[in-house]
Amino acid sequence: MTKHLHRLAPLILVAFGAAAMLGARNLGLGELSAPGPGLWPFIVATLLTLTGVVVLFIDDPEDYEPWTRGTLGIALGLASLAVFIVLFETIGFFVSAILMLLFWLRIFAREPWRWAVPLAVLGALAFHFVFVELLAVPFPDGIVFAPVGS
């Protein structure tokens, strides 16, 4: 079973392509002389499905990298980005930026606290300065710098 695990990726592509073909057909293919909104998506979805099927059969299993302990770390990193986006929406940029930098510097860069804390605070300050003061980007209201930004 694990021998065929690598075929999962092209299978997803085929499924995705087939779903898109159906969706495109529902949009209305029209005539070749008067193409409907679905015609072009239908053509490219067909191409995706066909190439997916070919990949399903000819693909080289060596192309797929093994999942390692590092992979788990990346999943954690991705989760941290999702948390950052949520925090960013609720408590603004500055504090969330410090937290995210701190997390990455500690977990992935393995900086000691005495480097991680100043780097995170100064980094967040610098970004705040560039984006809010210099480029006037309206970040969501934060718990720090709220009156300045808006």
Partner 1 sequence: MGILDGLGQGFSVALDPTNLLYVFLGVLIGTVIGVLPGLGPTATIALLLPLTYEIEPVTAVIMLAGIYYGSMYGGTITSVLLQLPGEAASVVTTFDGYQMAKQGRAGPALGIAAIGSWIGGTVSIVGLVLLAPPLADLAVEFGDPEYVALTALGILLVTYLGTRHPVKSLAMAALGLLLATVGQDLITGTNRFTFGSISLFDGFDFVAVAMGLFGVGEILYNVEKTEKAQALKSKISNIWPSRKDFKDSSGAIARGSVLGFFLGVLPGGGGVISSLASYGMEKRRAKDPTRFGKGAIEGVAGPETANNASSTSAFIPLLTLGIPPNVVLALIFGALLLNGVQPGPQLIDQQPEIFWGVIASMAVGNLMLLALNIPLVGFFVQLLRVRAGILAAFALLVTMAGVFSVNNDVFDMWVVLAFGIIGWLMKKTGFEPGPLVLAFVLGSILEESFRRSMLISGGEVSIFFTRPMSGTLFALMAVVVIWSTVQGIRRRRKRSRPSTPGEEDLAATGTTAEPEGTPGYENTDDTEGATTGAPRDGSGATGGTGSTASRAQDGGPGPDRG
Please give the residues from 23 up to 62 whose contact with partner 1 meets the rule CB under 8 A. Answer: 23-24, 27-28, 31-41, 44-45, 47-48, 51-52, 54-55, 58-60, 62
What is the DSSP annotation of 6-67? GGHHHHHHHHHHHHHHHHHHHH--B-SSSB-TTHHHHHHHHHHHHHHHHHHHH--GGGSPPP
Euclidean distance between CA atoms 107 and 97, whole angstroms: 15
Looking at the Cβ atoms of 138 and 147, the one nearer to partner 1 is 138
Residues 114-133 that bind partner 1 (CB under 8 A): 119, 123, 127, 131
How far apart are CB 11 and partner 1 at their closest, in Å?
A: 12
Report, in Å, the least distance between residue 107 CB and partner 1.
Answer: 6
Which residues, listed in sequence order, are joined to residue 30 by a DSSP beta bridge? Answer: 35
Nearest distance, CB of residue 81 and partner 1, angstroms: 5
DSSP H stretches of helix in 59-150: 69-91, 93-107, 113-128, 146-149
Q: Which of 116, 115, 139 is nearest to 127 (CA)?
A: 139
Window 51-110: residues binding partner 1 (CB under 8 A) = 51-52, 54-55, 58-60, 62-65, 68-71, 73-74, 77-78, 81-82, 84-85, 88-89, 93, 97, 100-101, 104-105, 107-110
